[in-house]
Structure 1
């Protein structure tokens, strides 16, 4: 075993997620190291092929039963493998979930060697502690309305990250229209007044021109194009947030906006204390915050990984820690199909969303009275999908989820019942829901 993958290597088996240290901090370090190893392997794997095997212990079924909540934070490596398989068509890539189950290193090593030598080419395989072998497969899962125990109503206090802009805002409008809960929206943008003279500018290009004219005589010199573009985007973001707040109030929901970086646990805890003081205990969480930093594995940086993973995974951790003593009846996280299937250029995003899926499954066990949903969305028509990315999806034949249809699907899910926590939503028109199950696989005998 080595700590680092040499740049000359053509094969790597990543064992870091078998660690006995299950803390979220350790899990983050394991995921970061795994991505760094894949980055070093990427140039040769892209050109000549090779081998990448990720190994984790999340119960031997990729965390589907949620039976070991502490290990859920280690679940991102499978999504790294799925993404690598898409970026390296010449390589052999596999993801294994091997439950340790009290077995020693020698026994685990024997199980892994057996799987790698006679287990075939199945991309993802779970190896349970009892010797059984399972393969995760998507299965249809109908939405069943929960008519007797709605978790959302006029008295509910729902905390929402990323809910003031984009697709999460559309979902909140649908929730407010139907249920009128109290909504506390958390976002990083500060609601400061925009510079004067911009009322007639509604597009980024118009704002840049107006700002260039009004800022031309600054004492410290004219602004750079990058500064102008950043200020224009900030102005548009503030306008969008204010419009969302106005819409939610008009639909009957008391609403407040808290300018907080969801990655800052102390700041999140303080903000939620403020919500409790004014509105009472928190009864629901919707974690929609996210960011992209798309690059192929060979070009992915640690800084990009940190930003993407900490927003999704660190943000969820902050919310769960801050609400341990609240009567939370609804937990909904906005995940992505990138985690379920991998997506070229989005290794960090896929890993983050896969962790969200596993943590959601574990929360169903630790919070038995809470309705838990992890919505693995396909691409929406809006939000982080800008014109360039939308065009790329169109060329690839991937339809976008219309805002209205996605928002309706969200409300149906958070008022539904049933045990499934992982859902894939595909657009348009035929918004289909799939749970993810672990089917027994008899391919390898004697295990």
Structure 2
């Protein structure tokens, strides 16, 4: 068994000092098997090392923000050189123009862009702008996992404590009739959706229909490109499916781990947040660190890599090999109805089903536990361009070891005696339990 003693000690101390023990709920210890939540100290390529010296092949790197690999030299070099000339000034830097030009070259459907630091900065600015444009307050969001940490979205989740009632409604994906019903009252300022997800591609004509409905009802269409941008294509899902939104929101892979997000859109709307409008101005985005030079330089290096190296082809190649390999392992063990790797090759997930064929947090935790024991870290199998043949082979081998234990659990109909500790739990939930978190007050 791998030793996680030092990681567990650091995690306990983190709980004393940081609410939840992590700065992102998806990074929380409750998302990993009990006493097996590695605290990381270093990464290179597709591999990471924890405080106990354990090495792992990592997936979903940086919550899908690292697509070129940890420590990718051209990005580091560009960011370092920019930082050496000054990180932040009292006036715009020329780098802001150069980065904006690079971005708008990738996303020709947008006329203007404004940079920020977090994805929620961009999505909430889009809400504010859409409300100002339309004079309406309701926001319609697709029933997809996540759009913002701000009230307009979190108020719709199970973690809504402290948030007043929100004017946000939801609609199912790939259902034009449902969206038409939501828009019928002419009260919706903006429709938010991911054009596609790992498991859901748009049906023929769906996105075109969404575009037409928004036009018909005077509603702004907003694409969330946080995940699809730089993973479906450098120009996002809108470039793949050929449907242009009014506004789009970007982040994650823009800087290969450097913090950067963006709101982009049509000039007629974006200018309402600027100085060239006769209408009441919108407080669109005004951030101290949005234009810091290191991240903008990192972004420009990322753009160069996507123009010259085709990292999407590499992550898709790795994803196809990984899915084929793991699904073959499941077939060899007779558990294809219970353990499955599915999704777009660059955005794979694993499905963990119990003996009855139902999704199971307990069986998911068992699979995560065995992956960690065999040197794989990840809540998904989302690849990067750094996942080479060796990383894929090591992962398939780890899954073969995990499948042995998983098969025994299926045969027993339970994880009892195989899972060490409590199951993982959804990141966004009303109560903190299950917890079993040791509190330490010593330094």
What is the TM-score of this pair, normalised by structure 1?
0.28
The structure in which a higher percent of residues are strand is: 1
What is the TM-score of this pair, normalised by structure 2?
0.29
